[in-house]
Amino acid sequence: MRTEVLPVDPVDPDPGAIARAAELLRAGGLVAFPTETVYGLGANALDERAVAGIFAAKGRPPNNPLIVHVAGVDSARPLVREWPDTARRLAERYWPGPLTMVLRGAGVVAEAVTAGGPTVALRVPAHPVAMALLREVGLPLAAPSANRSSQVSPTTAEHVLRGFDGRIDLILDAGPTTGGIESTVLDLTHAPARLLRPGLVPPGKIEEVIGPIDQVSPSPRSGGALASPGLLDRHYAPAATLECVDDPSWPHVHWLLQKGFRVGWLTFWGEGLGKEGLIVLRMPRRSDEYGAQMYAALHQLDALGVTRIVADWPPDTEEWLAVRDRLRRASSRVIEGSGSF
């Protein structure tokens, strides 16, 4: 199979490219497309065979269900058995946007999408290309992040191509995504609702709308129960061993260099610039900017063939929750000291 790459304007996508993608999806094909978080690998969520293609291409375990993307509430309602008031209020506030809601399924989407379970995860992406595609195709699209299973999520079409060249039909290339971190996944089938995966909508913003929620997701420091297969450890991982290190991290980086490692360093500071064997990536001190750049930084370091990656641990505050969660999952080791920034 040849993988076609079609450039599209991220704000005003070319209808010809969207029509081509929709045609492939209707025929059971696999199309990668940008969302406001990361690139997704889409297939018709009603087509059992097409969905099987996603699992095969990603090497994804069949017990890990997929998020279904829809154009709006009207397209979401037929896919669920009930539409609770919590869902109505959250959709009003955060859709389109990076909030995925887990609800009781109506048995409409292909069984593989829900991993045979009673619930279905839904979201309306806030990206003009994703929205144009959903409207044109007129189908719900199952779309996990467009990376091979347990590798780093893609924020550019190049990242997608690196993982899937020759394995999928088409990539809609709209340049880098702006969010950079996957959506928040919230289970609304429990009372109170449960946070399954921290993401771009922080827990406090959800609680503003529906009151207190359960944050069962393992905190970066404590570990904890896994409520969703996607919370399995060792996710989003680069090829090189990644270590998260509390400030001051320079002594550890220095030690690795002395041991002969080629080190990539995601740091808030910037010592060691120009040191042999060291690639310093200065990271933003704003969590949203950090999130937008993090996966691209990991992809870059992988491409450069470093043998170790060190990341300075960001502060333990709610705004950094999603970044810390992804760093922890990408890492093999967390070295913590005082917790100071």
Smallest distance, ligand TXA to C-beta of residue 229, A: 5
Q: Which of residues 134-153 bind Mg ion (CB under 5 A)?
A: 145
Q: Does 64 bind ligand TXA (CB under 6 A)?
A: yes
- Tokens 């297969």, located at residue: 229
Give the DSSP letter of residue 165: T
- How many residues are recorded in the chain? 341
Is 102 an interacting residue with respect to ligand TXA (CB under 6 A)?
A: yes
Which one of residues 17, 45, 121, 263 is an interface residue with ligand TXA (CB under 6 A)?
Answer: 121
Among 35, 44, 156, 267, binds ligand TXA (CB under 6 A): 35
Query: Going edge to edge, which strands form the sheet with 263-267?
Result: 278-282, 263-267, 308-312, 241-245, 333-335
Angle of the 128-137 helix axis to the 15-26 helix axis, nearest 10: 50
- Select from 44-52, 222-230, 282-290, 293-301 the region that touches ligand TXA (CB under 6 A): 222-230
Tell me the residue ranges of DSSP E strands in 35-173: 39-44, 67-69, 99-104, 119-123, 141-142, 170-173
In 3-state terms, the chain is what percent helix, strand and coil (to 5)?
35, 20, 45
Q: Which two tokens stand for residue 247?
A: 């400030």
Cβ 163 to Mg ion, closest distance in Å?
Answer: 11
Kindly tell me which residue out of 172, 185, 244, 279 binds ligand TXA, with binding defined by CB under 6 A.
185
Half-sphere exposure of 315 (CA within 13 A, CB side): 9
Residue 217 sits in the site that holds ligand TXA (CB under 6 A): no
> Shortest distance, CB of residue 83 to ligand TXA, whole angstroms?
16
What is the pattern of x (binds ligand TXA, CB under 6 A) and - over residues 144-173? xx----------------------------
Structure tokens at 51: 């969905």
Question: Rounded to an integer, what distance in angstroms lies between the CA atom of residue 8 and that of residue 172?
Answer: 6
Q: Which of 51, 124, 196, 279 binds ligand TXA (CB under 6 A)?
A: 196
229 binds ligand TXA (CB under 6 A): yes
Q: Considering only residues 75, 183, 217, 267, which one is a binding residue for ligand TXA as defined by CB under 6 A?
A: 183
Separation between Cα atoms, residue 304 and residue 34, nearest integer Å: 25
Site residues, Mg ion (CB under 5 A): 145
